[in-house]
């Protein structure tokens, strides 16, 4: 139930990492789903406090690695056995131990590409402007600020109720972020 469609959400600042962790846990328990935390360093346990699922990035990298291995071996089998069959010194056409270095290199290459492009896709990048940049205070998140933002797209979001909830959770400053 949004009160204003021109809002990105409500941003709240907290005094320290422990307060931010407690607030994130409270926001998660209150049923909010579209929120994020910002701090100058990773906070151990924040993923659990926010109720985040396991990342899909590991599976993306694994699938790309398997595709790389199968593709590398298929390329070598095709080139050595079908396209250019050379019988040298009685060695077999399908000499799999000789395929290991190229297969390994292609696994690493495609896994790296999978990680890079998978990270971009999962984070919905590139995003040229984030509405949080409209706030003067968010710059403190790179130095000594601890923030949580509940987005207006959340089904539970209400400007008044969400702001009051964050103040009750210990916010030292709150502000409404426009789009």
Q: Are 3 and 124 in contact (CB under 8 A)?
A: no
The answer to whether residue 173 scores a pLDDT higher than 60 is yes
The answer to whether residue 93 scores a pLDDT higher than 80 is no
Spatial neighbors of 52 by CB under 8 A, at least 6 apart, are: none
Q: Are residues 66 and 112 in the same domain?
A: yes
Q: Are residues 63 and 102 in the same domain?
A: yes
**Lookup: tokens for 68:** 């790389």
- Residue numbers of the domain that contains 74: 57-122
In a domain, 114, yes or no: yes
User: What's the CA gap between 179 and 176, in Å, rounded?
Assistant: 10
Q: Are residues 12 and 41 in the same domain?
A: yes
In a domain, 111, yes or no: yes
| Number of structural domains the chain divides into | 2
Q: Are residues 113 and 134 in the same domain?
A: no
**Of the candidates 102, 122, 142, which is a domain's last residue?**
122
**Of the candidates 96, 122, 148, which is a domain's last residue?**
122
Predicted local confidence at residue 151, as pLDDT:
95
The values of phi and psi at residue 91, to 5°, are -75, 150
In a domain, 116, yes or no: yes
The answer to whether residue 5 scores a pLDDT higher than 80 is no
In a domain, 23, yes or no: yes
Q: Are residues 49 and 62 in the same domain?
A: no
In a domain, 11, yes or no: yes
Task: Give per-residue pLDDT as tens, 10-53.
Answer: 999 999 999 999 999 999 999 999 999 999 999 999 999 999 99
pLDDT band at 1 (very low <50, low <70, confident <90, very high): very low
Assign 3-class secondary structure to the chain. CCCCCCEEEEEEEECCHHHHHHHHHHHHHCCCCCEEEECCCCCCCHHHHHCCCCCCHHHHHHHHHHHHHHHHHHHHHHHHHHHCCCCCCCCCCCCHHHHHHHHHHHHHHHHHHHHHHHHHHHCCCCCCCCHHHHCCHHHHHHCCCEEEEEECCCCCCCHHHHHHHHHHCCCCEEEEEEC
In a domain, 134, yes or no: yes
**Of the candidates 122, 145, 169, which is a domain's last residue?**
122
In a domain, 2, yes or no: no
Task: Give per-residue pLDDT as tens, 120-139.
Answer: 999 989 988 889 998 999 99
Side-chain-side CA neighbours of 45 within 13 Å: the count stands at: 10
Q: Are residues 71 and 32 in the same domain?
A: no
The values of phi and psi at residue 37, to 5°, are -115, 150
Structure pTM?
0.77
The answer to whether residue 118 scores a pLDDT higher than 80 is yes
pLDDT band at 4 (very low <50, low <70, confident <90, very high): low
In a domain, 1, yes or no: no
């Amino acid at each position: 139930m949004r009160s204003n469609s021109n809002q990105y959400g409500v941003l709240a600042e907290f005094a320290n990492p422990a307060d931010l962790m407690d607030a994130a846990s409270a926001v998660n328990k209150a049923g909010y789903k579209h929120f994020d935390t910002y701090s100058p360093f990773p906070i151990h346990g924040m993923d659990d406090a926010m109720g985040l699922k396991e990342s899909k990035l590991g599976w993306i990298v694994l699938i790309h690695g398997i595709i790389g291995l199968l593709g590398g071996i298929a390329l070598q089998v095709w080139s050595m056995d079908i396209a250019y069959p050379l019988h040298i010194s009685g060695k077999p056409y399908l000499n799999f131990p000789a395929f290991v270095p190229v297969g390994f290199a292609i696994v690493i290459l495609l896994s790296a590409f999978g990680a890079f492009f998978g990270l971009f896709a999962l984070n919905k990048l590139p995003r040229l402007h984030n509405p949080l940049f409209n706030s003067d205070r968010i710059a403190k998140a790179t130095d000594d600020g601890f923030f949580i933002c509940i987005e207006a797209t959340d089904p539970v979001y209400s400007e008044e109720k969400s702001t009051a909830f964050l103040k009750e959770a210990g916010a030292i400053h709150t502000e409404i972020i426009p789009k």
